[in-house]
């Protein structure tokens, strides 16, 4: 049944793609035919001709555009015989590609008005066949080429994707049958001992999109620009924005290509060939063959929900980070080894529903001279099997086996660098002081500004007659973003540690009164993420006390490994060994 469904789906893709492919080829052939006739007419004989009639034709489209053509007839003599032809050139129909049709009509009309002869070209093999203009219209040929590349390329791509997808599905069905109890081996790209980044696919996709965009935008702008300047309709210069976007995309494609050429060969090794949900995961990157300038890199592991939102033309694909952990490593000394403790409550890899997928991604990011080292690797993630759970329970109950979770916690200070989170350390009479100045103020300020603009727009349209619903909706949403952005932009905090107590102050304009927490009342330190921007999550540091209270001592921090390193330092200052 599934095989019939797959064949039916492939057939639909072939038909759908075939329509686009044939449309592109057909449009190109319509413009290529005059090219063929022009080449055939290279050896035609020139004669003097007299214009009998000529008129400018035009056609108006529903969108308001006007296309032009030229119709008429002329007489000529060849080898003593008189002939008449109504074929002025090898083009047919009307168009508005450049000023050719208007200029051609004007030239013939002037010749008719002053009774002047023009040059015509006669087919010596068939003297009744003659034209006045046998030249090639490169603009029309380019227009047809755009159709071939855009529609034909899209149709051919759809057909290729259909065959490629069916082949891949068949291969993965065999893998699922062979490895029924090992879903992390169900994909062809998961069969190797290592994982590779999709840097090649990224630059190819952007390059193709940029090529199509530029093939459309540049000819349109070039053809439209003379008419815009001639008519003085300078608002039309807006059309130049599209080639500018195309140049930006071409630059982006080049940057991605350079990154792929330098870093595309990096291999990612993960112990047990997958992320084990509910356990500690280790791995490393193979970087020994690269010449790098900066030893510092950020490695992150993310659980992501990729889903489709909206409908019709508003449909878009979005990603939401469900969970993230990051750590800072020295790629010169540790071969970029990493270690992540993954909670057992997270979703497994699941791509069964194309509109709602769950995936896992390991990323490495390092500032380097030239293109930065910035790669993403999609990896499988699945929960521990029953056998693995039993083995883990045995290890945890064995007094002579090192508890991996305790080992992971003890290395928290090694997973990052607390000095990178923006905290300022000093010493005072109260002990060690850590000042958290306002963090990422530009981001939150922009968020606040956008919110207040929404408020202003809501009240502005209301003052000009819009329903009262506008200021209510725009005011509430905009005001919410405005206030939250301002609070985040202005927040600052200060933490003191004297060995027996933890003191902290928070505030926006000035600091509030100092609050103290005795060491013995601290239940645990925690990090929580309530905001994110793109693929970057921002964390708050919380102190949980035995009375159930939660104290926020710092906000809007990035890089979880660096934050954990700071928490480890606080514990060390307080002489806390276990929490």
- DSSP per residue, 74-102: EEEEETTEEEEE---BS--S-B-STTHHH
- Find tokens 């000095």 and name the residue: 419
Residue 391: how many CA atoms within 13 Å on its side-chain side? 7
Q: Using CA atoms, how far apart are residues 383 and 230, in angstroms rounded to an integer?
A: 68
- Find tokens 């510092």 and name the residue: 296
Is the torsion defined by CA of 114, 117, 121, 127 positive or negative? positive
Crossing angle of the two packed helices 2-40 and 153-178, in degrees rounded to 10: 150
Q: Using CA atoms, how far apart are residues 20 and 207, in angstroms rounded to an integer?
A: 21
* 3-class secondary structure, 57: strand
* 3-class secondary structure, 191: coil
Buried b / exposed e across 213-249, counting CB within 10 Å, b at 16+?
bbbbbbbebebbeeebeeeeeeeeeebeeebeebeeb
Nearest Cα residue to 100 out of 261, 226, 242? 226
Residues with Cβ within 8 Å of residue 294, at least 6 apart in sequence: 366, 367, 368, 369
The ranges of the chain with pLDDT < 70 are 1-10, 62-64, 223-224, 227-228, 230-236, 288, 312-313, 334-335, 395-414, 534, 578-579
- Find tokens 């307080």 and name the residue: 574
Q: Using CA atoms, how far apart are residues 218 and 235, in angstroms rounded to an integer?
A: 18
Domain ranges (residues) in the chain: 45-133, 267-410, 414-573
Q: Using CA atoms, how far apart are residues 280 and 377, in angstroms rounded to an integer?
A: 19
CA distances, 226 to each of 35, 103, 166, 217 (Å): 25, 14, 49, 15
What are the phi and psi torsion angles at 316 (to 5°)?
-145, 155
What are the phi and psi torsion angles at 348 (to 5°)?
-80, 165
pLDDT digits (tens, 9 = 90+) for 526-565: 998 877 776 788 899 999 999 999 999 999 898 888 999 9
* 3-class secondary structure, 334: coil
| Tokens read off for 531 | 């905001």
195-196 and 296-309 beta bridge pairing: unpaired
| Tokens read off for 574 | 């307080």
Buried b / exposed e across 158-193, counting CB within 10 Å, b at 16+?
bbeebeeebeeeeeeeebeeeeeebbbbbbeebeee
CA distances, 569 to each of 413, 526, 574 (Å): 7, 14, 9
What are the phi and psi torsion angles at 490 (to 5°)?
-95, -10
* 3-class secondary structure, 380: coil
- Find tokens 């952005």 and name the residue: 485
| Tokens read off for 469 | 């619903």
Q: What is the DSSP letter of 385?
A: P
Q: In residues, how long is the chain?
A: 579
- Measured at the alpha carbon of residue 118, what is the angle toward residues 112 and 121, in degrees to the nearest 5? 135
The whole-number pLDDT of residue 334 equals: 59
What are the start-end ranges of the H helices in 538-577? Answer: 560-573
Task: Give DSSP secondary structure letters for 520-537.
Answer: GGEEEEEEEEEEEETTEE
Rg of the chain over CA atoms, in angstroms?
35
Q: How far is CA 166 from the centre of its chain?
A: 26
The CATH number corresponding to 267-410 among 3.40.50.2300, 3.30.300.130, 1.10.10.10, 2.60.40.1930 equals 2.60.40.1930
The whole-number pLDDT of residue 411 equals: 57
The answer to whether the beta carbons of residues 567 and 525 sit under 8 Å apart is yes
The whole-number pLDDT of residue 204 equals: 86
Q: Using CA atoms, how far apart are residues 408 and 415, in angstroms rounded to an integer?
A: 9
381-383 and 275-277 beta bridge pairing: parallel
- Find tokens 């769950």 and name the residue: 358
Is the torsion defined by CA of 134, 138, 140, 145 positive or negative? positive
Q: What is the rounded (10 degree) CA torsion for 92, 97, 98, 102? A: 40
Number of neighbouring beta carbons within 10 Å of residue 129: 15
Q: Using CA atoms, how far apart are residues 247 and 234, in angstroms rounded to an integer?
A: 22
Q: Using CA atoms, how far apart are residues 123 and 141, in angstroms rounded to an integer?
A: 23
Is the torsion defined by CA of 26, 32, 34, 40 positive or negative? negative
Q: What is the rounded (10 degree) CA torsion for 155, 158, 161, 165? A: -140
- Find tokens 């109890």 and name the residue: 181
């Amino acid at each position: 049944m599934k095989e019939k469904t797959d064949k039916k789906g492939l057939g639909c893709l072939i038909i759908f793609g075939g329509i686009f492919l044939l449309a592109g080829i057909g449009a190109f052939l319509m413009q290529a035919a005059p090219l063929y006739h022009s080449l055939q007419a290279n050896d035609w004989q020139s004669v003097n001709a007299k214009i009998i009639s000529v008129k400018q034709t035009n056609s108006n489209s529903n969108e308001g555009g006007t296309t032009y053509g030229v119709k008429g007839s002329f007489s000529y003599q060849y080898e003593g015989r008189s002939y008449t032809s109504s074929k002025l050139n090898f083009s047919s129909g009307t168009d508005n590609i450049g000023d050719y049709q208007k200029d051609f009509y004007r030239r013939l009309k002037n010749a008719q008005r002053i009774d002047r002869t023009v040059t015509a070209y006669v087919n010596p093999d068939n003297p009744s066949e003659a034209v006045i203009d046998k030249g090639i219209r490169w603009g029309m040929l380019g227009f047809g080429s755009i159709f071939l590349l855009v529609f034909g390329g899209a149709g051919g791509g759809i057909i290729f994707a259909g065959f490629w997808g069916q082949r891949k599905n068949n291969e993965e069905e065999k893998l699922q049958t062979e490895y029924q109890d090992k879903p992390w081996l169900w994909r062809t790209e998961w069969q190797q001992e290592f994982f590779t980044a999709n840097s090649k696919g990224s630059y190819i996709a952007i390059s193709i999109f940029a090529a199509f965009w530029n093939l459309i935008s540049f000819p349109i702008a070039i053809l439209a620009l003379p008419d815009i300047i001639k008519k003085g309709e300078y608002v039309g210069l807006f059309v130049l924005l599209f080639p500018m976007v195309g140049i930006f995309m071409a630059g982006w494609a080049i940057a991605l290509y350079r990154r792929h050429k330098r870093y595309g060969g990096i291999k990612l090794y993960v112990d047990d060939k997958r992320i084990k949900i509910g356990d500690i995961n280790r791995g490393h990157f193979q970087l020994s063959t690269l010449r790098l300038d900066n030893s510092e890199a950020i490695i992150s592991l993310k659980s992501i929900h990729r889903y489709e939102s909206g409908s019709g033309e508003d449909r878009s694909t979005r990603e939401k980070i469900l969970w993230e952990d990051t750590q800072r490593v020295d790629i010169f000394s540790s071969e970029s080894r990493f270690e992540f403790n993954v909670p057992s409550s997270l979703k497994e890899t699941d791509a069964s529903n194309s509109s709602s997928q769950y995936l896992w991604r390991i990323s490495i990011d390092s500032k380097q001279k030239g293109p930065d080292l910035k790669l993403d690797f999609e990896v499988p993630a699945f929960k521990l099997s029953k056998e693995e759970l039993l083995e883990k329970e045995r290890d945890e109950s064995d007094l002579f086996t090192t508890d991996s979770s305790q080992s992971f916690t003890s290395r928290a200070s090694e997973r990052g660098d607390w000095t990178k989170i923006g905290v300022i350390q000093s010493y005072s009479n109260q002990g060690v002081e850590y000042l958290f100045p306002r963090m990422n103020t530009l981001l939150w300020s922009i968020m606040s500004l956008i919110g207040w603009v929404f408020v202003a727009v809501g009240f502005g349209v209301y003052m000009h007659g819009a329903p009262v619903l506008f200021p209510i909706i725009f005011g509430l949403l905009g005001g919410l973003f405005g206030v939250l952005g301002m609070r985040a932009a202005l927040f600052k905090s200060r933490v003191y540690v004297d060995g027996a107590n933890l003191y902290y102050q928070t505030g926006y304009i000035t600091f509030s009164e100092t609050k103290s927490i005795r060491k013995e009342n601290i239940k645990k330190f925690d990090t929580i993420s309530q905001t994110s921007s793109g693929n970057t999550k921002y964390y708050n540091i919380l102190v949980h006390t035995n009375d159930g209270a939660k104290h926020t001592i710092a906000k809007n921090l990035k890089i979880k490994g660096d934050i954990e390193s700071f928490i480890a330092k606080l514990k060390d200052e307080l002489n806390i060994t276990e929490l």
